[in-house]
Amino acid sequence: MSTMPSSVPQPVLSVEHIAVHFGGLIAITDMSFVVNQGEIVSLIGPNGAGKTTAFNVITGFLRPTKGEVRYKNTSLSNLKPHEVTSLGLARTFQRTSVFQSVTVFENVMIGLHRRSRSTLLDTLLALPREGRAEAELRNLAHELLEIVGIARRADELAGSLSYGDQRLLGVALALATDPSMLLLDEPVSGMNATETARFMELLNKLHGRGMSILLVEHDVPMVMGVSDRIVVLNYGRIIAEGPPAAIRGNPEVIRAYLGEGASRHAAH
């Protein structure tokens, strides 16, 4: 029996015929797409297109009216957010969710706590294995801060960081859960051009490490610069899907974002 070639895309996240209705309002009509192993896929669309609703369905914060979301062949349909996280999906939020009053390093240590195999008894008795486990976590915390590019701020209070650095710390906290896939909700919203460029570098670094990433974002140039594929939502339905080059010139996408006049102008 022949084996499947490794070049064939392996879906890790499958969104299958999702619909979301709020009373008489249809937020999403019939949405289907996949994210393959090691791929960056971005979900874009005008305000009110259904992007955040889709994200909330995928991460367990909202139940769909119909359809199913599967991660590595496990249905997420009836799972709570923390159960989705335990499968290897880590989500960041539009608002920074760091612990403002402790240091950057302590933030990551808190995030790493769930990885520790030490028991309460180990801690109380200060057993050797507790010391080893603590040292391992501290090393890992430093490594995560190096990955996201804020290791030099380790001893500063998280609340004193710039907005962009707080978003990077949020990614470090997500990575602390040891995910196989990251779900990023408008990660560069509110960032200046320099901060956005740094965040794009981080995404490319994670991409190079084989991380699968689903991105919801308004910043179209940023999305064009980092994505393998882009899924475009408008009024709760997918109007286009493909690599950045195909999306950039898609007349329906141009109309959705910029209106008919811009579409005609782009054609010239």
Backbone angles phi, psi at 65, to 5 degrees: -70, -40
The pLDDT tens digits of the residues spanning 139-171 come to 999 999 999 999 999 999 999 999 889 989 999
Strand partners, 216: 43, 185
Q: What is the predicted pLDDT for the residue at 1?
A: 45
Give how far Cα 18 sits from Cα of 181, 196, 236, 260, Å: 20, 31, 10, 29
**11-22 and 66-71: which strand pairing?**
antiparallel
Which CATH superfamily hosts domain 11-97+182-199+212-267? P-loop containing nucleotide triphosphate hydrolases (3.40.50.300)
Mean of pLDDT values over 68-94: 87
- The answer on pLDDT for 89 being more than 80 is yes
Q: Fill in the DSSP letter of residue 157.
A: B
Instruction: Kindly list the domain boundaries of the chain, sorted by start residue.
Output: 11-97+182-199+212-267
